[in-house]
Chain A
Amino acid sequence: MLRSRGVNLQEGPRTNYKERLQDIMLRRSSRRRLVDKVVSISAIFSVILAVILLGSILIEVVINGARALSINFLTQPPGAIGSGLGGIGPAIEGTLIVVGLASAIGAPVGVLAGIYLSEFAGNGIFPSSVRFFSDVLVGLPSIVIGIVAYISLVLTLGSFSVWAGALALSIIMIPIVVRVTEETLKVVPNSMKEAGHSLGIPKRTIILHIVLKSAKSGVITGIILAISRIAGETAPLIMTILGTDLFFTSLTGPVDALPLRIWRLVSQPYQYAHDFGWGAALILILMVLGMSLGLRLLAHRRGFKIGTIAA
């Protein structure tokens, strides 16, 4: 019960609250230790579960996929269905082209928009709605983006094309990069910008050489995350690049991609096709891994990380 008018001390002998307090705290502390233990154990258990799940998928892919690997598998176009010949050459090439193009569009647009939101925009209606719609776009099913690209590009231009695929994937990529860039730049301490201003350095130079440089590893992580995500996208590609058995011919024609090829291979009733599917999955994972490592190395080659900023 809350008393509104000050402390109400009753007449008579005072209670021995010191002992009571210690008693309560002792009981609380044994309860706290128990909660502590339960939470720690469930955290460890969750980590083990996650590692087992991911690890088993990875091991499964490596074991099954390694069987399919050969020079022919990596370089040849698919053979006739049921023949057990050919490879996934066009799919590897197509994924490199489509994902490369999408990243070349999506990464700079995303980073620049992130810089705008964090350094220039403030909290007005326009930047707030950009933030809101970016978040919505991140959660949008990728098939919807595929349909948009199909209607606006494929139907109007009259053919499935590399461009349509790259644009669809870059639309998936941009909001991820925007939000990660904005959040990372916001973490750069204001005192860095202040120091830059006090030296009479123009704002654009401060952002480029001080803020962005401090936030580099965070921004790169965002780009890697986005590229990894689009590299595995299948749905928007069905509606845009279609998939083909031939090598790349032009940016305005259809092309193959690994996720599409995997899907085609595993829907065939032949064991060799399933093995090829595993092989293609392994190659896709290795490509994403290689891209991620390469970008990180590139980022760490020079300078220090943001982690070195003292609290």
Chain B
Amino acid sequence: MTTNGENSREDEIKADKDIDRQTESEQVQEKQQQVHKVSIRNLEAWFGSKQALKNINLDVEQKTATSVIGPSGCGKTTLIKCLNRMHEMTPGAKAKGQVIIDGMDIYARNIDPVIIKRRIGMVFQKPNPFPTMSIYDNVVAGLKLNGIRDKRLMDEIVKDSLEGAALWDEVKNELGKPGMGLSGGQQQRLCIARALAMQPEVLLMDEPTSALDPVASSKIEDLVHDLKKRYTVIIVTHNMQQAARVSDHTAFMYLGELIEYSPTKKMFENPEKELTERYISGKFG
């Protein structure tokens, strides 16, 4: 979707082509490995009349971890919620611009937002396993409720996803117990496993450790290191040390604008903008 009238036709054609290319073959996918996994173009977002994101442009490389930092209310969460079209679920909220994932604009008109969410995993601030379900059912909830019934397939996915979320060894003997019976950190890893079960390539994490104690947080951070070998991880955090520890690239946002986006090392050692430097050194925020 684009506001620019003259471009819209072109973009549509492009989006159509992109979808075609998507469905073509692996050879194309290989080519895309050099291309950016997620490209955000002129993204703007509103809550009612209040603009939350202003003209965001950002490219994320495949199989890296990117953190988004910035003071409260700067639009970090809004930004990642725009990446799986979760933002517009809030009443009165809307978004404009392009978010191209694997060459496909997820805001193109012929795209079903429900399908988009299946391909992009999301983990929330507070662990939110389904209270009525066992650990096993929590992991396969997205599959089961989207109509998958193959028990053997689900068994395999449960094991792989829980291993991927570094939870398998702790729960392998109690898969039938309620997911709510786990500790906070385990619940959050269960939610990560639940997202991984959908076989996403991009994983969005919205302050995944803000409700956890330091030990549980560091487990999640270790996990992010593993996850980025297989997934493209975008993680919102208010903890700058965490951003420095886990991510390859860091984006600094302020008042709905992307101020600076550079490799994490550079961002923390030698930021380009003065505003970034002041935020990182704790002078405001």
**Which A residues contact B (CB, under 8 angstroms)?**
122, 189, 191-192, 194-202, 205-206, 209-210, 213-214, 216, 303-304, 306, 308-310
Contacts and interface: CB of A to CB of B under 8 A. Distances in A.
Interface in B102-150: 114-119, 121-122, 124, 126, 128-133, 141-142, 145-146
Interface in B69-97: 84, 86, 89, 91
> Most chain-B Cβ atoms within 10 A of its Cβ — which of A195, A303, A310?
A195
A228 B132 CA distance: 27
A199 B194 contact: yes
Contacts of A210: 130, 132, 141, 145
B44 to A, nearest CB: 22
B128 A191 contact: yes
B132 A199 contact: no
B145 A309 contact: no
Contact of A199 (B126, B131, B145): B145
B132 A304 contact: yes
Contacts of B142: 199-201
B198 interface: yes
Contacts of B224: none
Contact of A306 (B131, B145, B178, B198): B131
Contacts of A308: 131, 178, 180
Interface string B11-29: 0000000000000000000
A37 B240 CA distance: 52
Contacts of A303: 132-133
B235 interface: no
B89 A197 contact: yes
Contacts of B100: none
5 contacts: A191-B124, A192-B128, A199-B146, A200-B198, A309-B131
Given A195-B124, A202-B114, 13 more contacts: A122-B91, A195-B128, A195-B130, A195-B191, A198-B86, A199-B146, A199-B198, A200-B115, A200-B119, A200-B146, A206-B145, A209-B145, A303-B133
A200 B116 contact: yes
A198 B180 contact: no
A41 B60 CA distance: 66
A197 B146 CA distance: 11
A200 B131 contact: no
A214 B117 contact: no
B162 interface: no
Contacts of A195: 124, 128-130, 191, 194
Contact of A200 (B89, B117, B124): B117
B280 interface: no
Nearest to A122: B91
Interface in B173-198: 178, 180, 191, 194-195, 198
A52 B211 CA distance: 48
A190 to B, nearest CB: 9
A-B complex: 8 closest residue pairs judged by Cβ atoms: A200-B118, A199-B142, A200-B117, A198-B122, A191-B128, A309-B131, A201-B145, A195-B128
> Most chain-A Cβ atoms within 10 A of its Cβ — which of B86, B91, B142?
B142
A218 B186 CA distance: 28
A205 B126 CA distance: 23
Nearest to A303: B132
A194 B89 CA distance: 9
Nearest to B129: A195
Contacts of B141: 196, 199, 201, 210
Interface string B211-242: 00000000000000000000000000000000
A189 B128 CA distance: 9
A220 B221 CA distance: 43
B143 to A, nearest CB: 9
> Most chain-B Cβ atoms within 10 A of its Cβ — which of A122, A191, A206?
A191
B105 to A, nearest CB: 18
Contacts of B119: 200
A210 B91 CA distance: 21
A207 to B, nearest CB: 11
A201 B114 CA distance: 7
Nearest to B84: A198
A216 B132 CA distance: 10
Contacts of B180: 304, 308-310
> Most chain-B Cβ atoms within 10 A of its Cβ — which of A189, A198, A205?
A198
Contacts of B115: 200
B27 to A, nearest CB: 28
Contact of A197 (B117, B178, B191): B117
Nearest to A193: B89
B178 A304 contact: yes
A122 B124 CA distance: 25
A241 B102 CA distance: 67
> Most chain-B Cβ atoms within 10 A of its Cβ — which of A200, A210, A216, A308?
A200
A218 to B, nearest CB: 13
Contacts of B124: 191, 194-195, 198
A184 to B, nearest CB: 14
Contact of B131 (A198, A209, A214): A214
A206 to B, nearest CB: 8
A206 B117 CA distance: 14
B195 A199 contact: yes
Nearest to A189: B128
Nearest to A306: B131
Contacts of B116: 200
B24 to A, nearest CB: 23
